[in-house]
Structure 1
């Protein structure tokens, strides 16, 4: 494999890019980068790269992941040269739709995998530049003021004591949140995964429109806990906010990637930027407190700050499944649509129903309750956990392909519209019925405690 330094030198010798530090304004070329990263991540790379290669200007177009996919697929203007984001399944979506081109030699450094998962596309269409883990961040002061314990794992978030204390982004609006959702579905299984997500949904304070809204909400104390990609929590702690971050057991580490977009005007300069990201200088930038990402090159961790997490040395549970990137790509829009129809758009009804169920369960757990009340409450929980799509059906490509992203000014297919309407009305009925059952259980418990009439 050609080393990255040689690759960069070859590009320069061929005259595809101006010499470092020698600006030639008349020949300055604009490299268009579509990215889901916030400016706190991309600006340090932009400034460092432009300082080294002054005849190339980076134009950053910031979009949430799903909108970035649409931007590239719609071939919007200005035409993208590079796609730069965290979610690997988004790259698979674009690769499958024919929007990416192969990187060529020298742009996929060692190591090739982490815990058996490829760090670069085996087909050569995108390369990992960093590694992402996913987990829980929380505000220490917020939890302490309310007497709440820090969560240790995903299932802790199902506990009723966290009601109105959790924030998440809609996966339809955040590629990293989509990965969290898909990881839970793959690690727990479709049915148990959705049971967990729906019960966590009952404890949400909000569903934010952008992924940045979750760490911001935790930092500001608008809610206490957030489900986030690791660099949000690590960066927030590094810059001095009173927060902590934890990788739950069984977390999967996946690459954050960059890819060449087919039809871009400046492929040579685009390859040079990829080479810079993978160079020692580029990897070192990831350790900046305002970035706080995990380098993709194992050797980079020799220069890591003290206590910095190293995913290559963190153990992986033997029972943890390997992330199925193809399955995630295939049902990408189906999973997002289900989450929105059952949680995002039904949040008020879902929260009210779960609050009543949790209250009734707490009462039943501390009292010698009649079997009929326990059976009724079990039925209420079942109504809240019912899914309109089975696991096997979610893996059916013909069914999953019915779903696309909702884009402003465009309508989805008639089949998708019908299914969404059916899921909406069924969810409203189920949540209402579950709430009524739980309320009835609580009323019967109250009556049972009343002293007998003389």
Structure 2
């Protein structure tokens, strides 16, 4: 959670409980999971994040303590899309597929999913909505237009504000609470529950209970509506009093079930999806983008022979192929709690084996695409 979110809650909770001081350690999702994977040595009481799968992982590894009959509680709803500065982009994309247009070459910012829980949600939405193969094909096609891959979700918003790129892939509240930024939900709108939970071995479990109860209370839910937060409350009665007419696709989604996103599936393959993205996109970023730019230069020519066009098509197929089958990922053992480096969760022998296998597969496909392009130039 950014300070913009937790700050008002801390201030109000301390006002209501003057004997209590709330201390917050602000980390991205993976670093936070890594902290808890050590056994919560520093005695943190609460875990608070927008990535619901993080809580399924914490629960699976026995790190959550119950509050009532639940091990975690939804407090807000969110969904993903893209944001832009209105003065910088006159014709923003209207749908996910519009983002693939060559006019957005080098103009899209995204955070690294292995460092950003909300970007992991973004990837999983594509994979769950479009299916494993088509979802990855879309992600690989989209990577042609990436300007950069930032290390944190906030880096996307910062990049928009500084003009580093024109479009930022983001979760809604990071953009809608920023003055000067526009936001559009991707369709279908998949609403994801942000959560809060009490951790085992916390230093102050009674106060943790009180804080969660405050977040879920009507007063706590109303805090979500202040302009600097601008989040969708979990309180259905409170939601019914709000006007979402400026986002009709969101309004329609709110009237339907918002349980179509499967955080448990996302949790089971959390490491795998992040690692696949890193091996095929992050680690090959410059090389992959260079190949796409060569392809687009050829596509602008009107003198291509039939053989050249076929070679160009084969090069694109290599760039859009995900050779890793969904069943292969599904049969892998659930990963240990993720974290940034061996201090938190060293990769298992199985994970290291798959890392190397996926690296070779990614390299091979790019080499095949490059070979096709060399043939075109002969």
Task: Go from structure 1 to structure 2 and tell me whether the alpha carbon gap of 1:246 and 1:76 turns closer, same or farther (over 3 Å shift).
Answer: same
The count of corresponding residues between Structure 1 and Structure 2 is: 377
- Structure 1 position 432, deviation (Å): 3.5
- 1:99 is matched with which residue? 63
2:349 paired residue number? 414
Give the Å deviation of 1:287.
1.3
Write the deviation string for residues 173-227 of structure 1: whole angstroms up to 9, x where unpaired. 0111001001101111111111111111121111001110001111221101111
Of 177-186 and 406-415, deviating more is: 406-415
Is 1:134 matched with 2:80?
yes
Counterparts of 2:310 and 2:375 in 1: how far apart (Å)? 12
Shift of 1:87: 0.8
**Residue 414 (structure 1) shift:** 2.9
- Alignment root-mean-square deviation, CA: 2.6
Gaps of 5+ in 1: 1-36, 106-123, 445-454
CA distance in 2, matches of 1:294, 1:316: 10
CA gap 1:161/1:311 in 2 versus in 1, 3 angstroms: closer
Instruction: State the shift of 1:56 in Å.
Output: 1.2
- Structure 2 contact 176–230 (Cα < 8 Å) conserved: yes
- Do the aligned partners of 1:133 and 1:229 also contact (CA within 8 Å) in 2? yes
Q: Is the 8 A contact 1:360 1:438 kept in 2?
A: no
- The 5 Å alignment of 1:30-45 reads 37-45=1-9
Q: How far apart, CA to CA, are the structure 1 residues paired with 2:244 and 2:322? A: 45
In 2, Cα distance between the equivalents of 1:104 and 1:333? 30
Between structure 1 and structure 2, the one with the greater Rg is 1
**Partner residue of 2:108?**
166
Q: CA deviation at 1:336?
A: 0.4
In structure 1, C-alpha distance between the alignment counterparts of 2:239 and 2:322, rounded to whole Å: 43
In the alignment, structure 2 segments of 5+ residues that lack a partner are: none
**1:192-341 matches, cutoff 5 A:** 192-236=134-178, 240-241=179-180, 243-301=181-239, 304=242, 313-315=251-253, 322-341=260-279
Q: Is the 8 Å Cα contact of residues 301 and 310 (structure 1) preserved in structure 2?
A: no
| TM-score calculated relative to the size of structure 2 | 0.92
Distance 1:306 1:87, change over 3 A: closer
Tell me what 1:188 maps to.
Answer: 130
Distance in 2 separating the partners of 1:271 and 1:308: 36
| Shift in Å, 1:357 | 2.0
For 1:83, the equivalent position in structure 2 comes to 47
Map Cα deviations across residues 59-109 of structure 1 (whole Å, 9 max, x no partner): 10111111111211212432111111111111000001011122116xxxx
CA distance in 2, matches of 1:229, 1:306: 17
Between the aligned partners of 1:434 and 1:311, the Cα distance in structure 2 is 38
Q: TM-score, normalised by structure 1?
A: 0.77
